[in-house]
Each structure stands twice: as C-alpha cells, then as structure tokens.
C-alpha cells in the first residue's frame, strides 16, 4: 500500500509511505527520495531539513488503523485519515459471510483478506459512494465464489 501525505515541518514536500501489509516493511519517501532508516531503538526514519538538521520520525501503532503514524518530536502525525465507526462496520461485511455459510475456516481467512482490502478501498481517493459500492460488490463476489466452491466440494464428496 502507498499513502501520500504532508508534514507540518515540511509544508512544501510530499511524503509517501510504502507499507507492505503482510511483511510489515515500511519505506518513507520525501519528494520521491527514499529516507534512510536508523538502526537505533524504534528504527526511526531520518528526514533531513533545509537547515541541515535531521529529524527522527518514529513509526507508531495507531489502533485500530493498520497504517502506522509517524511521531516527530513527540507529536504524532497520522499518515491516513482516521476512518469513522461506520466505515469499519462496512469493512467488516465479509465476516457476515462466516455466519451465513456456517463458519468454515477457509472463509474466515478469506474474510480477513477482504476486510484488509476494504480498509484500503475506504482510504482511497474515490467518492464515498464508489468506496461503499466497491466494498459491497467485493463482498457479494466473495459470497458467490464461496457458494460455488462449497457446491463443487459437496459434489466431489
């Protein structure tokens, strides 16, 4: 996942955080230039300023978001906009399928992947209507595919 944002300390710069969900690897870019990462505790990103000073930006957990925030000089800066409670509720739609289809373990794994994808969709730059339609559409496609797979497995028994 990639997220673009700005920081108050650098009003004329565009930052981009590249975040690998599955492996947790993070890369920070300032104006398309990769920022070095320190090996000290917390592994902060080292961001040079115009004055030659280097600011340390520590990645911090920002529950319930899976995208971490950056802490600079003990001030937390969110990389992505916080989702509202109803955005999380609609992102959880795939888990309703677990109850509808009697809780098969493979469906729980599929629902988890779909939930994470839904969070990414809801943070995109689309209109609210398009975001919700994509989430509902993805859930409907998963339900249809899962139903077909269950029917095929029953036929093979």
- Pair 103, 137 in one domain: yes
Q: CB-based contacts of 66: which residues, under 8 Å, 6+ apart?
A: 21, 116, 119
- Pair 68, 26 in one domain: yes
How far is the C-alpha of 65 from the C-alpha of 88, rounded, in Å? 10
Phi, psi of 154 (to 5 degrees): -65, -35
Instruction: Say how many C-beta atoms besides its own lie within 10 A of residue 37's C-beta.
Output: 15
- Pair 101, 117 in one domain: yes
CATH number of the CATH domain containing 73: 2.40.128
Instruction: Say how many C-beta atoms besides its own lie within 10 A of residue 141's C-beta.
Output: 11
pTM score of the predicted model: 0.63
- Pair 68, 115 in one domain: no
From first to last of its 157 residues, what are the pLDDT tens digits of the chain? 777 888 888 888 888 888 775 666 788 899 999 999 988 888 899 999 888 888 898 888 766 566 677 888 888 887 777 788 898 889 898 888 888 777 667 778 888 888 888 888 888 778 889 999 999 999 899 888 888 877 887 788 7
Q: Structurally, how many domains does the chain consist of?
A: 2
CA-only gyration radius of the chain, Å = 20
- Pair 89, 73 in one domain: no
Q: Give the range of the structural domain holding residue 58, as residue numbers without chain letter.
A: 2-77
Distance, CA of 63 to chain centre: 12
Last residue of a domain, one of 61, 77, 93: 77
Concatenating the DSSP letter of every residue in 54-111 gives: EEEEEEEEETTEEEEEEEETTEEE-SSPPPPHHHHHHHTHHHHHHHHTT--HHHHHHH
- Pair 141, 104 in one domain: yes
- Pair 15, 70 in one domain: yes
Last residue of a domain, one of 19, 43, 77: 77
Last residue of a domain, one of 35, 58, 77: 77
- Pair 130, 71 in one domain: no
Segment 123-150, tens digit of pLDDT: 877 888 999 999 999 989 988 888 887 7
Q: CB-based contacts of 50: which residues, under 8 Å, 6+ apart?
A: none
């Amino acid at each position: 996942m990639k997220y673009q944002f700005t920081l108050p300390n650098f009003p004329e710069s565009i930052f981009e955080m590249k975040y690998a969900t599955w492996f947790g690897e993070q890369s920070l870019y300032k104006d398309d230039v990769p920022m070095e990462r320190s090996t000290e505790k917390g592994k902060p990103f080292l961001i040079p300023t115009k004055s030659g000073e280097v600011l340390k930006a520590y990645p911090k957990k920002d529950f319930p978001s899976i995208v971490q925030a950056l802490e600079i000089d003990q001030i937390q800066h969110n990389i992505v906009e916080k989702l509202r409670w109803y955005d999380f509720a609609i992102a959880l739609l795939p888990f309703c399928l677990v109850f509808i289809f009697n809780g098969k373990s493979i469906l729980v794994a599929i629902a988890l992947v779909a939930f994470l994808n839904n969070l990414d969709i809801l943070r995109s730059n689309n209109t609210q209507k398009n975001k919700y339609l994509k989430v509902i559409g993805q859930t409907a496609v998963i339900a249809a595919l899962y139903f077909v797979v269950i029917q095929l497995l029953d036929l093979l028994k």
